Structure 1
Amino acid sequence: MTTSDQDRISSSVVPDELRLNVLPNFLGCHYLKGESLVYDWAGRLCTAYRGGYWHFFTLSNGGFYMAPAELGRVAVRWHLNGYSDMMGADAFGVVVTLFALCHLAEQTLDDTIIGRYHQLREFACQHVEAANILRAID
């Protein structure tokens, strides 16, 4: 299946001066827990992750994700599905944000959070590392 340019979901990095409102806008009252889950999942999925600055991205379909700024390619491993491979920092951010949104949706049962997960997954299917991302979250 090919995606036309008009159907392609684009991502845009959020400028530093607008970062403060990103998570409250996308996660509502769950933004602190959501942010914490992103960092927690990063540590669970990548033993080399030691914290650092993260970029925030908005998606043209209304979604968002976070990705570490200072990581190159990283080894990602999730024992519950047997996934183990290398991926770039952007793909890692998509994976981590998907895990965090799924976890947050399960805890809150909030339809908005569930919608954010599906918006990001739609973008993940078009990502240059889509096959790797989808294997990691399977």
Structure 2
Amino acid sequence: MIEAHALPPVAANLVAEGDRLSFLPAFFGPRLMMRGESLVFGWLDTLSEDYNGGFWSFYTLTNGGFYMAPATDKRMRLSVDGNGFNGEMSADAAGIVATLFAVGQLAAEVHGTDAGDTLADHYHALRDFAKTHPEAGLIFRAID
């Protein structure tokens, strides 16, 4: 009989202040880091009238993924034209949504390259984390 071993849940770790400069090149690559960061900010600006800039927190995931989220305790209303989603969620969940949209878009833009493959892996790693997030239902309704 084969025993199934439960994998530990994917955990997020806040990137320390001293490691922030290496975060974007590590996950988007040095060539795409500015485009990736801009896409994340742009997606949240498009999705939420509540977003008006500010400081963002960076997170690494224990499965090799990452995400970015506004560093605020305020909740945000998101509206996704493509699927009719309208809802309110934490800034953390909104950051996950924005990061998923941005990484998915960037992966499509560089599809067929090593960078595209890496970004697709990052997208799936973040989706796996999102499944265990307290606001998973809202996140998945927003990105569906």
What does residue 78 of structure 2 align with?
Answer: 76
Q: CA deviation at 1:48?
A: 1.6
Residue of structure 2 equivalent to 1:15? 16
> Structure 1's 15 and 38: CA in aligned 2 closer, same or farther, altered over 3 A?
same
- In the alignment, what sits opposite 1:121? 127
Runs of 4+ residues over 3 Å off in structure 1: none
Query: Displacement, 1:116?
Result: 0.6
Question: Which of 20, 32, 35 is matched with 2:34 structurally?
Answer: 32
The structure with the largest alpha-carbon Rg is 2
TM-score (norm 2): 0.90
Structure-2 separation of matches of 1:39 and 1:8: 28
- Fraction of identical pairs, as percent: 45
CA distance in 1, matches of 2:118, 2:53: 27
Q: Provide the alpha-carbon RMSD of the alignment.
A: 1.3
Structure 1 unmatched runs, 5+: none
| CA distance 1:67–1:5, shift in 2 (3 Å) | farther
CA distance in 2, matches of 1:21, 1:111: 20
Question: Which one-letter code corresponds to 1:21 in the other structure?
Answer: S
* Aligned residue type for 1:92: A
Q: Give the TM-score normalised by the residue count of structure 1.
A: 0.94
